[in-house]
């Protein structure tokens, strides 16, 4: 209990970064709609799984209703069918509930609570959790988008530097403004958890008070299933574990619904697994197993989706051109191997906010209505004193590079999309109407 309490206090300090960032003005969306940034929502969940969901649904009901409607519109535009009809057809053609009930039954109750709390149909909120499953079951029109999601890394403890895992979470631009952190209080065997997500969704990534963290990257090229455990449930199921070995065991035991790469961290260690419906394959980019990184193309797992396998046969490898994922992967590799003084928050931050390629940067600003963008960045410090650093909606600072970092105590998480060079980076305090003291009291009471 003492360890969990300390984790909450450290998180309260770290979270201020995200709240401060959200107070600056944002660029107009390319669709012509000028939207002001919402404050990063922090929702405290406690009690039974159903009650946690009920709190989530009630607290963010307005946001959930709004985002679900936008999502349905996006489904209609993408698949040329009414959003509700798409949801109904997708759930009829897939069967994920048995795996959720088997491996993460608490989450099924939590999803039911979100639906009841937001007064939305259960089937709608269930389908809303199937972010990756919709992507990987879609045809080529969505495969291209799925290949442009997320850049992640992990570095094991070295000397006095603790282990870290970190990620730029890249999602569709219509999810902007709904960034949320779930603070899930310990209950029974459930450890304290902090989860980065959006309103109505159970998890994008996160860590727990036992210093277990997880990040995920879509691998749409790998074989998926119309049953199995969805990605969001795998993330939350992993965060229920209290040791890295148990987390790895869980990842290997479940049947995976979607092709996905997972970077796990726990204590002093980090590891990476490429997962498909038929295989779970460990991946290390180099012989140095203390450093892992990944984007959105498989490098170890050859359990390919049939459509992708056929496409590979037609590709002349000698003439193949590097795409979005390959270019971001190379950027991660170059930056991590050039770290001469070890890895810390500053060096990870610099990597996450980089624009080494103007066309395919690690940090992706909003450029068009349907484009993916860097929805948020997380850095997880894994040690006896774990810390969770989060910054949402990162590219707005391109318009004002004098307000790119917020310093709280001895740590910081700058906006990764703040500027294109270190020379432009200015460590000036951002003003915010939110009360830091009130935030600390809320978490440290």
DSSP secondary structure letters along 198-249:
ETT-S-SEEEETTSEEEEEEE-TTB---SBSB-HHHHHHHHHT-SSHHHHHH
Q: 3-class SS at 317?
A: coil
Cα dist. 300→276, 284, 297 in Å?
11, 9, 10
For residue 349, which of 398, 390, 293 has the smallest C-alpha distance?
390
2-21 vs 436-444: helix crossing angle, rounded to 10: 160
Number of neighbours of residue 341 by Cβ within 10 angstroms: 8
CA–CA distance, 88 with 83 (Å, rounded to integer): 9
Burial class of 264 by CB neighbour count within 10 A (0 to 12, 13 to 18, 19+): buried
Number of neighbours of residue 411 by Cβ within 10 angstroms: 18
Cα dist. 303→223, 235, 246, 307 in Å?
6, 21, 24, 12
Number of neighbours of residue 396 by Cβ within 10 angstroms: 22
* Phi, psi (degrees; rounded to nearest 5) at 274: -95, 120
**Domains of the chain (ranges, CATH numbers):** 2-46+146-444 (3.60.60.10)
Q: How do the pLDDT tens digits run along the chain, 445 residues long?
A: 555 555 555 555 555 443 333 322 233 333 333 344 556 889 999 999 999 999 999 999 999 999 999 999 999 999 999 999 999 999 999 999 999 999 999 999 999 999 999 999 999 999 999 999 998 887 544 455 555 678 999 999 998 899 999 999 999 989 999 999 999 999 999 999 999 999 999 999 999 999 999 999 999 999 999 999 999 999 999 999 999 999 999 999 999 999 999 999 998 999 999 999 999 999 999 998 999 999 989 999 999 998 888 888 887 665 565 788 898 998 899 888 877 567 888 889 888 988 877 788 888 877 655 578 889 999 999 988 899 999 885 554 333 332 222 222 222 333 334 333 322 222 221 222 222 222 222 222 2
């Amino acid at each position: 209990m003492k360890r969990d309490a300390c984790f909450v206090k450290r998180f309260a300090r770290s979270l201020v970064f995200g709240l401060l960032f959200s107070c600056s003005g944002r660029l107009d969306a390319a669709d012509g709609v000028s939207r002001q940034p919402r404050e990063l929502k922090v929702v405290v969940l406690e009690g039974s799984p159903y009650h946690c969901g009920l709190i989530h649904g009630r607290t963010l009901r307005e946001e959930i209703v709004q985002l679900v409607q936008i999502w349905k519109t996006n489904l209609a535009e993408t698949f040329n069918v009414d959003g509700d009809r798409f949801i109904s057809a997708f759930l009829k053609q897939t069967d994920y509930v048995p795996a959720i009930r088997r491996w993460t039954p608490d989450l099924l109750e939590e999803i039911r609570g979100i639906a009841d709390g937001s007064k939305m149909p259960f089937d709608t909120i269930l389908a809303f959790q199937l972010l990756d499953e919709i992507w990987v079951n879609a045809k080529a029109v969505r495969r291209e988008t799925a290949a442009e999601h997320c850049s992640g890394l992990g570095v094991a403890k070295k000397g006095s530097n603790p282990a870290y895992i970190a990620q730029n979470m890249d999602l569709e631009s219509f999810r902007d403004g709904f960034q949320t952190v779930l603070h899930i209080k310990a209950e029974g065997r459930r450890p304290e958890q902090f989860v980065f997500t959006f309103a109505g969704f159970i998890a994008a990534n996160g860590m727990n008070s036992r210093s277990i963290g997880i990040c995920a990257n879509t691998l749409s090229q790998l074989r998926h299933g119309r049953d199995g455990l969805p990605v969001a449930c795998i993330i939350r199921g992993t965060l229920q574990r209290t040791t890295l070995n148990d987390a790895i065991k869980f990842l290997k035991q479940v049947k995976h619904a979607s092709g996905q790469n997972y970077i796990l961290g726990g204590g002093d260690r980090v590891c990476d697994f490429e997962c498909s419906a038929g295989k779970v394959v460990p991946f290390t980019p180099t012989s140095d197993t203390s450093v892992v990184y990944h984007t959105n193309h498989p490098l170890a797992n050859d359990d390919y989706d049939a459509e992708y396998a056929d496409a590979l046969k037609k590709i002349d490898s000698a003439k193949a051109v590097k795409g979005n994922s390959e270019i971001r992967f190379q950027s991660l590799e170059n930056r991590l191997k050039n770290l001469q003084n070890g890895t810390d928050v500053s060096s990870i931050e610099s990597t996450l906010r980089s624009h080494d390629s103007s066309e395919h940067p690690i940090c992706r600003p909003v450029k068009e209505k349907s484009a993916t963008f860097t929805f948020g960045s997380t850095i997880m410090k894994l040690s006896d004193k774990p810390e969770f650093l989060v910054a949402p909606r990162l590219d707005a600072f391109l318009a004002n590079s004098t307000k790119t970092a917020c310093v709280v105590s001895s740590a910081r998480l700058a906006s990764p999309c703040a500027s294109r060079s270190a020379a432009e980076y200015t460590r000036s305090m951002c003003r915010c109407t939110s009360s830091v003291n009130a935030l600390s009291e809320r978490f440290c009471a």
